[in-house]
């Protein structure tokens, strides 16, 4: 079942009259529950594509379908509500709210949904246990290590049991071991909650966790396969 489908997405940036065509026609389909890695050389447009799929940016042309429903031309408010209910984000540099405790950071998306206090408590607790930060819940982000922060961020992204999680290089600020555990968490919990995860990464070792890998090249997807047979070398090109 298709969760998100794109047709011929294009996106260009204009810098001093020079047009840089970043995406030239991306056809992508994400199926519910899968864990998809997006790879490609730096500057190839991974972040640009993730922003479009996360509905925080709009394409120049092409179409996006959410559950086969066309999103082109929907209002900003409509997209906001859609993100509020169904999309979670994990950012490279965490983007936690510094004045909130880990607990409140995780609970924030639930508060946006108007969830009751007891239900929030239950979810935050179980997620915190799952990502292994249940003893750190009263701490503010500044008092946590990078890995701990990203665990909080993952818990936050998962809290509302979103249909889609967008993760742009979630491990780039972490050391190798931490990066591995964090991605493993993201995949396992995504699976557990039935969330589709789209993760952009440079890190070849992470790709073996992916159900499927897609590679951006010259503005469109050139590789769309299972991870079998993809070598680290290929990923990094």
Ligand X SMILES: Nc1ncnc2c1ncn2[C@@H]1O[C@H](COP(=O)(O)OP(=O)(O)OP(=O)(O)O)[C@@H](O)[C@H]1O
Q: How many CA atoms lie within 13 A of 163 on its CB side?
A: 16
Tell me: does residue 51 bind other proteins (CB under 8 A).
Answer: yes
Start-end of H helices in the chain: 46-53, 76-86, 102-112, 117-131, 146-159, 176-193, 232-236
Phi-psi category of 132—alpha, beta or left, where left has phi over 0 and alpha has psi -120 to 50? left
The entry of ligand X, other proteins, Mg ion, none that residue 78 binds, CB within 5 to 8 Å by partner kind: none
Smallest gap, in angstroms, from Cβ of residue 126 to ligand X?
33
Q: In this structure, are residues 123 and 134 in contact, taking their beta carbons and an 8 Å threshold?
A: no
Footprint (CB under 5 A) of Mg ion, residues 64-83: none
Residue 22 binding partner per list Mg ion, other proteins, ligand X, none, with a CB distance cut-off of 5 to 8 Å that depends on partner kind: ligand X
Q: Residue 197 interacts with other proteins (CB under 8 A)?
A: no
User: Please, what is the minimum distance in Å from the beta carbon of residue 23 to other proteins?
Assistant: 14
Choosing from 27, 60, 68, 81, the residue that interacts with other proteins (CB under 8 A) is 81
* Minimum separation from the CB atom of position 25 to Mg ion (A): 20
Nearer to other proteins, 65 or 91 (CB): 91
134 versus 234: smaller Cβ distance to ligand X? 234
237 strand-pairing partners: none
Q: Which of 43, 41, 11 is nearest to 26 (CA)?
A: 11
Q: Under the criterion CB under 8 A, does residue 77 sit at the interface with other proteins?
A: yes
221 vs 15: CA distance, rounded Å: 24
Cβ of residue 10: shortest distance to ligand X, in angstroms?
13
Residue with the closest Cβ to Mg ion?
47
47 binds Mg ion (CB under 5 A): yes
Sheet containing strand 212-217, strands side by side: 87-90, 164-168, 196-200, 35-39, 212-217, 220-226
Tokens 């950012």 belong to: 91
In 3D, which of 155, 195, 153, 188 has the Cα closest to residue 171?
Answer: 153
Contacting residue, 62, 109, 141, 190, with other proteins by CB under 8 A:
109
Q: Which residues bind other proteins (CB under 8 A)?
A: 51, 54, 56-57, 77, 80-85, 87-89, 91, 95, 97-100, 108-109, 111-112
Q: Which residues bind Mg ion (CB under 5 A)?
A: 46-47
């Amino acid at each position: 079942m298709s969760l998100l489908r794109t047709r011929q997405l294009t996106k260009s940036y204009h810098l001093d009259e020079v047009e840089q065509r970043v995406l030239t026609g991306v056809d992508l389909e994400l199926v519910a529950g899968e864990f998809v890695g997006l790879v490609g050389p730096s500057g190839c447009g991974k972040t640009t594509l993730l922003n479009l799929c996360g509905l925080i940016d709009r394409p120049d042309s092409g179409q996006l379908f959410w559950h086969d429903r066309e999103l082109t031309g929907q209002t900003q408010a409509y997209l906001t509500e859609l993100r509020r209910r169904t999309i979670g984000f994990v950012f490279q540099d965490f983007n936690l709210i510094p004045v909130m405790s880990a607990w409140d950071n995780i609970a924030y998306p639930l508060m946006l949904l108007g969830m009751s206090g007891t239900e929030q408590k239950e979810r935050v607790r179980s997620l915190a246990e799952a990502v292994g930060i249940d003893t750190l819940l009263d701490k503010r982000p500044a008092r946590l290590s990078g890995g701990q922060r990203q665990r909080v961020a993952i818990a936050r992204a998962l809290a509302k049991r979103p249909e889609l999680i967008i993760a742009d290089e979630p491990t780039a600020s972490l050391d190798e071991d931490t990066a591995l555990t964090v991605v493993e968490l993201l995949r396992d919990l995504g699976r557990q909650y039935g969330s589709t995860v789209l993760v952009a990464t440079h890190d070849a070792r992470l790709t073996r966790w992916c159900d499927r890998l897609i590679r951006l090249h010259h503005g469109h997807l050139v590789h769309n396969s299972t991870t079998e047979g993809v070598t680290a070398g290929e990923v990094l090109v």
